[in-house]
């Protein structure tokens, strides 16, 4: 199995504040996203990813986000199997992101 790249929420926040334009996919469910999302992220619930692949750019880095980092890691594994090379999992998910806010 290919190693999943990881990014800490603090590093993601620093890169966004520096003006980097990143492809971010939030794989949480609607009710979770209603509590807040990272600005600029696209919401595609984990179960909808197979049907919405056309919305995900295949080139470049793709930061996947969920509540705790588990579902986004599964999404990274799935996308890597389909040839998406730039998948990066935000470790700790939104729980850690909000703690560091």
Q: Are strands 23-26 and 62-65 parallel, antiparallel or unpaired?
A: parallel
Spatial separation of the C-alpha atoms in residues 56 and 24, rounded to whole Å: 9
Query: Quick check: is 76 catalytic?
Result: no
The strand pairing partners of 42, in sequence order, are: 25
Q: Of 41, 63, 65, 66, which residue is the catalytic one?
A: 66
Residue 90, φ and ψ in degrees, nearest 5:
-80, 105
Residues involved in catalysis: 66
């Amino acid at each position: 199995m290919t190693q999943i790249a990881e990014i800490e929420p603090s590093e993601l926040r620093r890169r966004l504040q520096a003006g980097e334009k990143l492809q971010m996919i939030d794989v949480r469910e609607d009710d979770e996203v209603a509590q807040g999302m990272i600005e600029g992220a696209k919401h595609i619930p984990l179960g909808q990813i197979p049907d919405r692949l056309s919305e995900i750019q295949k080139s470049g880095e793709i930061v996947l986000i969920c509540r705790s980092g588990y579902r986004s890691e599964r999404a990274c594994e799935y996308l890597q199997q389909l040839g998406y090379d730039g998948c990066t999992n935000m470790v700790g998910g939104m729980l850690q992101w909000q703690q560091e806010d």
